Structure 1
């Protein structure tokens, strides 16, 4: 039997699979997928499973990347997994913050605080704070939305053992934080799926509504 993880919180879809009893990822794939291109999600996932001789029925635990990130992507991933697992006994699901996959793999000590910096649009960044627990990271409940002025004030009084961000969002981050802070940011090409799969502190509660919304989504009404 296998564990799977699906994340659409960023600019690409990430999908991974490994044995329930641990070991290395058997599938560790990514594909640019936003907006209309997300229509190919099911075909892509099924194709990867077939290439690796794994059937959907063999996946007994599903992890969904819960953000923070794209509202649309997070909801799509959750809905996709919910549809696959609906009314199927013996299958467990859970949401795992995508941000832990950015901090994963660094040389940190127990209880070190690490902050993920994400593009918040409108020349703002989202700060998502985590604490090192063993080899993984656990959210500590601290989140901020920062513009250039508030970022300068915030980092003057709050300090972290590490700052991490996606390389694809480097330009957005550098528009908001000072050069001194930029020099401390470690940029990652993509988040680690191992971190989401290995988040032992999160229970298998079969609740795929636990997405990380730092601020509410904006809904635009159609004009009559």
Structure 2
């Protein structure tokens, strides 16, 4: 099983990155909250990995730290939540924010994420409340954490399309509907903004 990858970051096309390690290029899907913490293309990156093997594919999901990966692993144990939805949830809020939503039974906050309806949000709270509380105690996390909309955006990456197209592609990959994604991108777009910053602002606007 692959648990960690350290290598040179070759490409950043949210929510996927390409990392070369030992002469092999690994395609890794990364939630946006972890994506923001990646270095620039050409620099060394390190990701905690969750490896999924299916009949038709072998998928790698990468995270900035073990906490994000641990919450992802708890998410995919929940009824009706697969890796794609878990990735979307951890793109709209980081692990600490998700844990707080569950702890505070904030169903409304969870339903703002694409693919999470009221029933799914209620089920997440019921199924994951005790598990996440146990995880917090086992790994030394605070039971409740401060919700912050600010996420690091210092890093930029080489853009293969313009900022709006890059951002739209990322939001669609995360499960947002085209009309919703286009509308919010246009509302937060400013001249000269990077794709990464635009994605961040779009996700914040939909929170």
| TM-score (normalizing by structure 1) | 0.27
Higher relative contact order (CA 8 A, sep 6+): 1
Q: Which has the higher helix share?
A: 2
Question: Which one has the largest radius of gyration?
Answer: 1
